[in-house]
Amino acid sequence: MPDKLTTERQNLIETDQESRLTRRSIRSFVIRNGRVTAAQQDALERLMPSYGLDFSDQIINPDLAFGRPAPLWLDIGFGNGDTLLHVAKQRPETNVLGIEVHSAGIGHALMGIESNQLSNIRVIQHDAMEVLGDMMPDGSVERILLFFPDPWPKKRHHKRRIVQKDFIDAVCRVLSPGGLLHCATDWADYANWMLELLDTDHRLKNLAGQGKTSERPQWRPETRFEKRGQRLGHEVSDLIFQRMP
């Protein structure tokens, strides 16, 4: 077992990494230094210069970032990149921006980008709230995907859930009229939390009807988090909201 000094040193490293990924004091993520494989590290070093975007506190031009004008989708907290890669392969006419904080997941996604020869993906390693708030132009995004975010199940941690009023404000600013916010979770309490916040916002329309969740669209692949939740007996909820004009 690690000694107390080793644990404290590890905690300091993780806190420093979090500080470099966000300026916010209340964070919706925690960095845990899981093992980055040699292949993932190689992908990070070789491919981030081509597919990675640096965080900026200035609004960017997404068309320039991708080298072409195209509809823009955001995949927030893309994990190991399964959905990110699936969307990019199935929709080559769409630019897909993935936002993730964990290096192992980004490395895994980069390996998939290379093996599938995908040119319509860019990734940012930073806090999604700051990317939305600082980098994305008004009305620039056609769809935002938020699949299986950390549910922070303990009541004292609910303030760390990403779906809060400020997140919804940022989403409504960057979504184009008619654009979609698509969330999925396998925690019933978090689904109810999202519904309560999203259903009461006049800028958004619940496509399933007030207080209801949607069926999983056929295009959405099952993620490993989803499959794990199903093995534990958790019911998966999809929530799809449209930005009103």
Residue pLDDT, tens place only, 184-224: 999 999 999 999 999 999 999 999 999 999 999 999 998 88
pLDDT value of position 45: 98
Range of the domain at 198: 32-243
The verdict on residue 40 lying in a domain is yes
The verdict on residue 7 lying in a domain is no
The verdict on residue 236 lying in a domain is yes
Number of domains in the chain: 1
The verdict on residue 18 lying in a domain is no
Q: Is the separation of the CB atoms in 168 and 198 below 8 Å?
A: yes
Q: Does the active-site annotation cover 199?
A: no
Residue 29's pLDDT band (boundaries 50, 70, 90)?
Answer: low
CATH number, domain containing residue 53 = 3.40.50.150
Q: Residues, the chain, total? A: 245
Please state, for a pLDDT cut of 70, what percent of the chain lies above it. 86
DSSP 8-state secondary structure symbol assigned to residue 155: G
List Cβ<8 Å contacts ≥24 apart for 60-65.
60/135, 60/136, 60/137, 61/137, 62/95, 62/97, 62/136, 62/137, 62/140, 65/97, 65/122
The verdict on residue 106 lying in a domain is yes
Residue pLDDT, tens place only, 102-121: 999 999 999 999 999 999 99
pLDDT value of position 61: 98
212 or 231, greater pLDDT = 212
Annotated active-site residue in 3, 42, 57, 150: 150
Q: Is the separation of the CB atoms in 13 and 33 below 8 Å?
A: yes
The verdict on residue 188 lying in a domain is yes
The verdict on residue 169 lying in a domain is yes
The verdict on residue 48 lying in a domain is yes
